[in-house]
Amino acid sequence: MGSGIERYRVNGYELVCLVRGSGVPVVLVHGSLCDYRYWQSQLVALSAAYRVFVPSLRHYYPEQWNGEGGGFSTRQHVDDLLALLDLLPGPVHLVGHSRGGNLCLRVALAAPEKLRTLTLADPGGDFSADVFRAAAIDPPVSPVERNRFREQALSMIRQGCIGEGLELFVDTVSGAGVWKRSSRQFREMASDNAMTLVGQVADHPAPLQEASLANLHLPVLLIGGAASPEPFPRIVRALQSVLVDARTSIIAGASHGMNVVRPASFNRAVLEFVDQY
């Protein structure tokens, strides 16, 4: 099959997906400030052997959300992804990056039968302290502490300092100087999705617990960037220890956006994993 934009009605919302290729479905889920455009470097490689579905989550581009009203939450995004999977010929290979990785992990916990495999690239989000203690790792700073930079970035954006607010957010998440080194396309995408920080700041999902994670019986690939800042390396190490069937691949010469900076290495890691199942 060819490629193009398809729309799926899920939970009363029109979810826009970029679709390409044929075969077993691979679903790619973006993280904060991103949308289906984030995965451009994966489309050709993965769609050569699979039917790739790349949704933009609720309230992200191409929707022009102003931050008002409801519908932006971890729970809603997880429910939308579950509804999308019901419309696809599953089970699927599910791949998530950053916040999207946390969403995908929650999807897997809610409905493991819908998945063949789970790939988590620098998964973010909230994890209970017992996840880290079980792996003999000191927990990172609390969700409340981590949310402060999001609040500051959003305040700057609301005051009209959009570039400065996005720079603060991206550099805190990915490392100092990453915003200035980013491509024009990435900065445009982040700007298009700037107001989704309204929903993210207001979102306070229950942290994932060690007991739930330890009962997940799915093949999991954890991908980290060799230069990714905390808390991502700590989360990857903890999940490697807690999950029953997990393996880790670290992408050399890359930070948090490893699939963009080192797409060949990232694509190879994903394909070598999913091809086994």
Report the candidate in 119, 102, 83, 77 with the shortest Cα–Cα distance to residue 8.
83
- The C-alpha atoms of residue 124 and residue 120 are separated, in whole angstroms, by 9
Query: Which pair of tokens denotes residue 168?
Result: 């603060």
For 121-153, what is each residue's pLDDT tens digit?
999 989 999 999 988 998 887 667 777 889 999
Do 138 and 132 touch, CB atoms closer than 8 A?
Answer: yes
pLDDT(28) > 70 = yes
Q: DSSP 3-state assignment of 2? A: coil
Determine the pLDDT at residue 72: 95
Determine the pLDDT at residue 140: 83
Do 29 and 96 touch, CB atoms closer than 8 A?
Answer: yes
pTM score of the predicted model: 0.96
Domains of the chain: 4-140+206-274 (3.40.50.1820)
The CA distances from residue 212 to 105, 116, 215, 223, 265, in Å, are: 11, 19, 5, 21, 31
Query: Which pair of tokens denotes residue 209?
Result: 């617990």
